[in-house]
C-alpha cells in the first residue's frame, strides 16, 4: 500500500547517474549525481554548498553511459547536507524520446530498481 502522504505523481527509481547543471544566477556549472528519478522529475545531490534559486528553471545534463540528455528543470526545493545540496526538480516539457532514454538507461544499468517497483506502475 502506498504512503498516503506521498506527493509524487510518478514512480521514482534510484539511479546513480551523473548530472551537470548551470546555476542561473551566476552561470557556474555544478556537478552531482541523481539520487532518484522519474519521468516527471528527479532528486539530485549537487557537489556544492551553493544555494540554487527556488522556482527557477535550470539547464540540466543527465549523463548516462551511452548518451547525455540536455533538459530544463524547475527547482522545487533544496536541502543542505554537509557540503552538498539535495535538490528536488521537475522537468519542463520533457520529450517522449527523452523519457524513453531515461527508462532505457535505468533498465539497462539498474534493472533491479525497475523490477522491484513493477506493481507500482
Give the model confidence (pLDDT) of 39-91 as tens digits: 899 999 999 888 888 899 999 999 999 999 999 999 999 999 888 899 999 99
Positive or negative torsion for Cα 46, 40, 96, 118? positive
User: How high is the pLDDT of residue 116?
Assistant: 78
**Tens of pLDDT, residues 2-11:** 444 556 578 8
Q: In the chain, what are the domains?
A: 13-111 (2.40.10.220)
User: How high is the pLDDT of residue 70?
Assistant: 97
User: How high is the pLDDT of residue 51?
Assistant: 82
Any long-range contacts for 56-59 (C-beta under 8 Å, 24+ apart)?
56/24, 56/25, 57/24, 57/92, 58/21, 58/22, 58/23, 58/24, 58/89, 59/21, 59/22
User: How high is the pLDDT of residue 32?
Assistant: 95
User: How high is the pLDDT of residue 88?
Assistant: 95
Amino acid at each position: 500500500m502506498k504512503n498516503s502522504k506521498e506527493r509524487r505523481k510518478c514512480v521514482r527509481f534510484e539511479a546513480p547517474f551523473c548530472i551537470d547543471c548551470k546555476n542561473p544566477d551566476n552561470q557556474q556549472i555544478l556537478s552531482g549525481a541523481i539520487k532518484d528519478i522519474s519521468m516527471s522529475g528527479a532528486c539530485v545531490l549537487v557537489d556544492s554548498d551553493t544555494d540554487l534559486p527556488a522556482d527557477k528553471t535550470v539547464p540540466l545534463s543527465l549523463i548516462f553511459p551511452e548518451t547525455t540528455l540536455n533538459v530544463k528543470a524547475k527547482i522545487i526545493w533544496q536541502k543542505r547536507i554537509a557540503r552538498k545540496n539535495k535538490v528536488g526538480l521537475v522537468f519542463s516539457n520533457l520529450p517522449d524520446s527523452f523519457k524513453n532514454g531515461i527508462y532505457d538507461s535505468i533498465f539497462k544499468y539498474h534493472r533491479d530498481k525497475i523490477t522491484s517497483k513493477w506493481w507500482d506502475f
